[in-house]
Amino acid sequence: MKDKSKSPLKVALHGMDGRTNKMMVMYLQGPCKGAAAVVEDLNAEIDIIDADSLEAKTLLERKLAESAKPIIALSLQELTFENILYVKKPVKVDDMLFALSEAAAILSVKKRSSNHVNSNMENTAIRQSQSLIPKTENVLPSVKDQVKKLTTDEQKKTSKHQTAMQLDEGKFNSYIGSIPGLDVNDPKQFTAATYNPKQYFQGYVQSALMVAEAKKQVMCLNSSWKPLIIFPHNYEIWLDADDKQLRAFASVVMNKISVPAITLTPVESATSSIQKDLEKFHSKDAFLWKLAAWTSKGRYPDALDIHRPVFLKHWPNFTRLVITPHALRIAALLIASPRTLPEIADILKIKPQYVFVFISAAYALGLIGQAKRKADEIIQPSAIKKSEQQGLLNRIIGKLSLNKS
Amino acid sequence: MSQYKIIFTGPVGAGKTTAIESISDIPPVKTDASASDMTKTKKSSTTVAMDYGIMNLTGGEKIHLYGTPGQERFDFMWDILTTGGIGLILLLDNTRADPFQDMKFFLDSFQKFIAETNVAIGVTQMDLSNKPTIDDYHIQLQGIGINPPVFSVDARVKNDVSLLVQSLLYSLDPEIEA
């Protein structure tokens, strides 16, 4: 398989007769060392036009009007058209490679910008500047400036890119909390160790996320607390609250007084305070994960049957989540085969509360499914394949866990 | 004493050298040289042979951390490197033109080793390019028929690299404990 970074740029040739066309194909393959390959117009990323041909004027006007592709014009005359990269004839290898690299840079910025314009508050200015490619001599600085702006905005969203917080058993109760009068670790109380996310802020956030994603519309969830803004295109949530405040609000049961105050409204334009407070952006998954963990307080969602096996669709993105005790082990076990919640605790020899909180968080992200087929209950899951190197793996894990800095 | 090793692989610029540096107990042995081919569009120097680091375990055991060179022309070394390896860490650069293509290439190249051990995938540079998302990678992996850990990783951050390696080890045996 070929490394993609070495893939040639796809170019279409215009205004050239058969012989020139063939020569240009060979020139790009040979002297230009395959930096570009000639393809059909429809599949091309870049247009190369012989600007001295009879139909050149019409061609250039049509391409500028119809296509957003970078254009390289080859001409005996020095061209000063805007939005066109110029290579003087007779074409020299260095000049052609330089024009191709400029075109590639433009393509790369366009790709990034098109990803970004859908995002929260990127305004039309970027789209406008993207479509207005400046004069040849100004292309590179402009491209660099744009890349810089885009990257710094994303990098300023520090909460999104923060590494995971790992909770050990000792920190669990103080960080996650517990329900007074309920011992979730007592098998006799398992059936009572449930909660309904819909009765908490978590349920309203999940519903709001579904609406925002379905409508592809930035939405604001208003409640008696702080407004929460959802940016569905970038899977982001903006909230002006710290973890301590969110944890407290997560555990409040919504009652008849608070529910009518909860509304979901479309947001047409992001306010300047949001634009300034980029560090208050959270990834949707990381936010929902911790919100569910705090709402659960060691319980599991009442939609799950504790006697039926559950499965994990795929690994959560643990490096950007709050990692509850034994979460990686639980994930690895469930990826291997479906298990009931008490089975997981038994096999891993851990307290059920650690299983329940993991299941609650993963369930909120849609990663947990309950085995519905009779076969899943009848057939015993395969025994865990113990590694012959278990002792060694234990020691490596021990070493890695010691060095968390 | 037995030689144990974890292999780090991935395309040029994905952060293999940095990741090894993050968890190695010794200053890693780097074999970088100035880039002279297409690589130079990604970074000024690159790994032309391999990187090497060590994790010292209690009891005097050592885990050798090997980083494969990113360029395909060194792929003859990959078989030699993986012999006796515990598992594979695949790092992918999210800013590359087609990271899925990279992923498929490396999963395909190390298919035999992965089948015998396991793989964990770290996606780097997500703060520069937030798409494709981690979910997009899982969708691609579904098509390949494997379900490994896929994490956002900043190769400079020890915790990120450590979690990725831990996920690889737990995939091998969920019953192991710290």
Taking the alpha carbons at both ends of chain B, their separation in whole angstroms is: 23
Q: What is the mean pLDDT of each run of 10 residues along chain A (405 residues)?
A: 61 83 80 85 87 81 79 80 77 84 80 51 34 34 43 69 78 83 90 94 96 93 90 91 91 77 82 69 95 96 95 96 95 95 95 96 96 58 70 88 62
Contact status of B3 with chain A (Cβ, < 8 Å): no
Minimal Cβ distance to B173: which of A234, A390, A405: A390
DSSP H helices, A74-231, are: 93-117, 124-131, 139-155, 158-161, 169-176, 201-215
Structure-derived torsion over alpha carbons of residues B168, B170, B172, B178, reported in degrees to the nearest 10: 110
Minimal Cβ distance to A4: which of B101, B164, B173: B101
Instruction: Identify the closest residue of chain B to A156 by CA–CA distance.
Output: B127
In the CATH scheme, what is the homologous superfamily, with its name and number, of domain B4-172? P-loop containing nucleotide triphosphate hydrolases (3.40.50.300)
For residue A118, with 0-12 CB atoms within 10 Å meaning exposed, 13-18 middle and 19 or more buried, which class applies? middle
Q: Which amino acid is at A37?
A: A
Determine the pLDDT at residue A66. 74
Determine the pLDDT at residue B80. 79
DSSP A5: G
Contact status of A1 with chain B (Cβ, < 8 Å): yes
SS (H, E, C) A233-290: HHCEEEECCCHHHHHHHHCCCCCCCCHHHCEEEECCCCCHHHHHCHHHEEEHHHHHHH
Q: So where are chain B's domains? A: 4-172
CA dihedral sign of residues B95, B101, B103, B109:
negative
Cα-trace Rg, chain B: 15
* Residues 137-156 in B contacting A (C-alpha not used; CB under 8 Å): 138, 141, 147-154
Q: What is the ipTM of this complex?
A: 0.89
For residue B176, list chain A residues with Cβ-Cβ distance below 8 A.
329, 387, 390, 393-394, 397
Contact status of B5 with chain A (Cβ, < 8 Å): no
> Could you tell me if A200 and B96 are in contact, meaning their C-beta atoms sit under 8 angstroms apart?
no
- CA A193 from centre of chain: 33
* Residues 100-129 in B contacting A (C-alpha not used; CB under 8 Å): 101-102, 104-105, 108-109, 126-129
Q: Which domains does chain A have, with CATH numbers?
A: 4-155 (3.40.50.2300), 160-402 (no CATH)
- CA A48 from centre of chain: 35
Determine the pLDDT at residue B130. 83
3-class secondary structure, A357: helix
> Could you tell me if B24 and B105 are in contact, meaning their C-beta atoms sit under 8 angstroms apart?
no
> Could you tell me if B23 and B161 are in contact, meaning their C-beta atoms sit under 8 angstroms apart?
yes
Contact status of B97 with chain A (Cβ, < 8 Å): yes
Residue B170 pLDDT greater than 50, yes or no:
yes
Q: What is the pLDDT of residues B52-110, one digit of tens each?
A: 899 998 888 899 999 987 656 566 777 778 888 999 999 999 998 899 999 999 999 99
